[in-house]
Chains A and B, each alone.
Chain A
Amino acid sequence: MADIRSNFVGIKSPNPFWLASAPPTDKAYNVERAFKAGWGGVVWKTLGENPPVVNVNGPRYGAIWGADRRLLGFNNIELITDRDLYVNLREIKQVKKTWPDRALVVSLMVPCQEEAWKTILPLVEETEADGIELNFGCPHGMSERGMGSAVGQVPEYVEMVVRWCKQNTRMPVITKLTPNITDIRKPARAAHAGGTDAVSLINTINSITGVDLDNFAPQPAIDGKGTHGGYCGPAVKPIALNMVAEIARDPETRGLPISGIGGVTTWRDAAEFLALGAGNVQVCTAAMTYGFKIVQEMIEGLKNWMDAKGHASLDDVIGRAVPNVTDWQYLNLNYVTKARIDQDLCIKCGRCHIACEDTSHQAITSQVNGERRFEVIEEECVGCNLCVNVCPVEGCIEMVPLAAGSLDKRTGKVVSGDYANWTTHPNNPMKVAAE
């Protein structure tokens, strides 16, 4: 059986599934339930200075849904903990004592002054928590007060605060990054320069989930008004995966431990984050949607997949996909694929046809010999994958690579087995001369 025990910057947990700093980790009651359910660790919901912040008393959350009202994207305008700092610290100490084998990291956000950090760090150390996470991500409310993403968006501030923390605590420091920035590598490099032990990402994305069309109020609406909240859930996973990969493959931050966050809902999502360089994952929306029990599926699913693939430990998986992330210009232009529709699996909905016909390359039939039948016209197919993406039946349409030496009926050219990319392409005005 695969060993999924995790050691993330020296913080040990029985599995790589942590709950992210968020409502599920705001107090001992929830955290103990999470540990009972099997979660490997938690990042306690962000602590701040006393007196605690206050939250709105109207809706804090908004969402978008897919078919059957499956929650796809989730948004919140909740702030950091609104409970007394010392109540939280007391509970953290008690929970850590009761659950010594689980990871317990404390998220922090105090004003951008060294004194403020110097004051809170010893209080957290005293709880014997395993580490701290710096909340440089929250995009709403706290950022208006010069904290959260207001720090995370300025690499110099990130570096400065990280350095203060490293100088004032023995605890490992994880720096949580905001995605509300043009280039995620900049704050990651800054955190690295400040001496952070790890980065965690992504925090939530600025968002309005919708508009109430009866009163034209942005959602979620408080007394008819709305503000941008933080977007998360399955919909943000692709954005998070890319940002994790960017940091994982950046020469300046390569090797910097990453805690992957953003739409992790199943074991498969977690495995993908690990493959792109995350050392563990943090989960929130999936737990808030379905409850803590999902971690059992994640634990078993990850183990079963690792067993099936012969991966003995997490180290066999972490970062394995990073070397395969490259820039567009290095993609092999001699790699040619054609869609192929499995007629036994096809249910004849015709969506591949109309998508291709209306919006792409007119490469799928709607009738063959007068019968409703959907077949790829190889002479037209550019291999774009749209048909695969719109087909409701998984595995019905496949992109099949053409073997070297075979004829691409669209271009009339023989497929080359050689690798060739844009940098040397004749159409590229900046092409480098072939050696």
Chain B
Amino acid sequence: MGDRQHQDGIVAGRLSAEDYARNFADLHPPLDAHEARVEADRCYFCYDAPCMHACPTSIDIPMFIRQIATGDPLGSAKTIFDQNILGGMCARVCPTETLCEEACVREEAEGKPVQIGRLQRYATDAAMAAGRQFYERAAPTGRRVAVVGAGPAGLACAHRLAMHGHAVTIYEAREKPGGLNEYGIAAYKTPGGFAQAEVDYVTAIGGITIENGKALGRELSLTGLAHDFDAVFLAMGLSGVNALKAQGEEAGGVENAVDYIAHLRQASDLSALPIGRRVVVIGGGMTAIDIAVQARLLGAEEVTICYRRGKEHMNASLWEQDLAASKGVVIRHWLQPRRIVAEGGRVKAIELEYTALSEGRLTGTGETLTLKADQVFKAIGQTFEPAALNGSGETVALEGGRIRVDAEGRTSMPKVWAGGDCVAGGDDLTVSAVAQGRDAAESIHRALMG
């Protein structure tokens, strides 16, 4: 505990150095060889396994676990990478409790699924530690593809395209590649510079150039890319943040959760990161959990998540909700923000209104609650900003505010594919972005070679 533990306001250095180190250590430490063998032995090698169907990238889970059980972790890693080249990150960040592990027959049998995520990490870590590359580039095709965004979708797409012999240039708006893996995921899920190590592992196949600091609508235009390249894959994610629609939200101390998390992920010294004493988070998804938990871990005394609907409506999984609770976060339901109470331009409290569902519509009840707060995080969802797409010429059609694509990731515009969070109809999961990037690459390959 630092001496600023109970200081009001947004201050840095609330904790001791040891506290920061402990709080931001690996949430799920890696399995050692013995633990992995014991866990792998639990897998029943199901037929047409439900876990496989629950995986957006359709990894052959029973096979990779059997390969661990038989002492072939590298073979296991290849089984994973064949379907998901970002299997290392997905092993860390996938909400397995609502995907493969929820479907595991051991969950049905005894309420204790095989720890698929941790086994996947065991195998992929083994391959990455050994520096083992499983794929070679096909003979160069002479075709060039531009990928916009070096997040999970863009990287997965680039890797598969490179494998097929195409030359790929990834344009990344930020200073580093990785997308949300680098700037978004909670720090305790991917410590130790893993995101960059994975980018290096993926791009080691060759044929992939990453140009950082280049954004669509800034240095690049879609029409330009479509003109200069044989194909374009758009994977720029979501850059907009929804507003609270609460009076006074421009007050100091009211921040976007995603911006704060990006800042946190890039911080070299967590003790230099200021955090409020009393923090209120508005939202009910994974980002709300991530910011709330990390606020606690940075030393905030009280962290309250306020969500405008009930527990059962939260996008954050039950497991994530329990994680937050275990870290001392209080989750309150049926509350929507109404007014930021500021003093001297800085937030002092937030006034919330109770809500209820009436005839399927969410309405305020009129009753209010005021929570003291010196910091308020907005985590009520991100939005796609289509302005960047607007060039002088043709542009892609949207659907529900995001890019419309078909089953193969094709947009309405010839030569242009899209995937990841920026496309309509997705579930905003890393693993789904990987699947879309991979599948779009296959579609691009077919189109280029057809």
Contact = CB atoms under 8 A, between A and B. Distances in A.
Interface of A: 67-69, 347-351, 353-354, 366, 372, 392-393
A354 B48 CA distance: 9
Contacts of B319: none
Given A348-B105, A348-B108, A366 B48 contact: yes
B332 to A, nearest CB: 37
B38 A68 contact: yes
B248 interface: no
A393 B109 contact: yes
A268 B44 CA distance: 26
Nearest to A357: B47
B108 A366 contact: no
Contacts of B46: 348-351
Contacts of A353: 47
B134 interface: no
A393 B108 CA distance: 11
A347 B108 CA distance: 6
Contacts of B26: none
Interface string B106-125: 10110000000000000000
Nearest to A364: B47
B176 interface: no
A68 B41 contact: yes
A101 B46 CA distance: 53
Contacts of B37: 69
Contacts of A348: 46, 50, 105, 108
A392 B44 CA distance: 8
Given A350-B46, A366-B47, A67 B41 contact: yes
A67 B106 CA distance: 15
Contacts of A350: 46-49
A353 B108 CA distance: 18
B47 A349 contact: yes
Given A68-B38, A69-B37, A347 B48 contact: no
Nearest to B38: A68
Contact of B44 (A69, A349, A366, A372): A349
Contacts of A393: 109
Nearest to A392: B44
Closest 7 CB pairs of A and B: A350-B47, A354-B47, A67-B41, A347-B109, A349-B46, A347-B105, A349-B105
B216 to A, nearest CB: 43
Given A372-B50, A393-B109, A351 B38 contact: no
A363 B109 CA distance: 24
Interface of B: 37-38, 41-42, 44-50, 105-106, 108-109
A363 to B, nearest CB: 14
B65 to A, nearest CB: 12
A76 to B, nearest CB: 25
Contacts of A347: 105-106, 108-109
A101 to B, nearest CB: 42
11 contacts: A67-B42, A347-B106, A348-B108, A349-B44, A350-B46, A350-B47, A351-B44, A351-B45, A351-B46, A354-B48, A372-B48
A354 B44 CA distance: 12
A56 to B, nearest CB: 27
A68 B39 CA distance: 8
B426 to A, nearest CB: 25
Given A349-B47, A366-B47, 12 more contacts: A67-B42, A68-B41, A69-B37, A348-B46, A348-B105, A348-B108, A349-B46, A349-B105, A350-B49, A351-B44, A351-B46, A354-B47
A394 B326 CA distance: 36
Contacts of B49: 350
A55 to B, nearest CB: 31
B120 to A, nearest CB: 20
A69 B48 CA distance: 26
A67 B44 CA distance: 10
A121 B214 CA distance: 95
A41 to B, nearest CB: 36
Contacts of A69: 37-38, 41
A20 B269 CA distance: 66
Contacts of A392: 44, 109
A349 B47 CA distance: 6
Contacts of B108: 347-348
Nearest to A390: B44
Nearest to A66: B41
Contacts of B38: 68-69
A172 B324 CA distance: 72
Contacts of B45: 351
A69 B37 CA distance: 9
Contacts of A351: 44-47
Nearest to A366: B48
A348 to B, nearest CB: 6
A135 B410 CA distance: 79
A347 B103 CA distance: 10
Contacts of B48: 350, 354, 366, 372
B442 to A, nearest CB: 27
A348 B41 CA distance: 18
Contacts of A372: 48, 50
A352 to B, nearest CB: 8
A354 B42 CA distance: 19
A67 to B, nearest CB: 4
B58 to A, nearest CB: 16
A393 B46 CA distance: 13
A366 B46 CA distance: 12
Nearest to B37: A69
A392 B48 CA distance: 16
B63 to A, nearest CB: 13
Nearest to B103: A348
Nearest to A65: B41
A137 to B, nearest CB: 34
Nearest to B69: A67
Contacts of B109: 347, 392-393
Among the interface residues B41, B44, B45, B47, which one has the most CB atoms of the partner chain A within 10 A? B47
A367 to B, nearest CB: 9
A354 B105 CA distance: 16
A353 B47 CA distance: 8
A68 B114 CA distance: 13
Nearest to B109: A347
A69 B47 CA distance: 24
A347 B109 CA distance: 6
A204 B37 CA distance: 30
Nearest to B39: A68
Nearest to A68: B41
Nearest to A352: B47
A350 B62 CA distance: 12
A69 B71 CA distance: 13
A3 to B, nearest CB: 39
- Most-contacted residue by chain B among A67, A349, A366, A393 (CB, 10 A): A349
A12 to B, nearest CB: 44
Contacts of A354: 47-48
A21 B37 CA distance: 34
Contacts of B42: 67
A347 B114 CA distance: 14
A46 B295 CA distance: 71
Contacts of A68: 38, 41
A274 to B, nearest CB: 33
A349 B41 CA distance: 15
B67 to A, nearest CB: 15
A150 B317 CA distance: 68
B33 to A, nearest CB: 12
Nearest to B34: A69
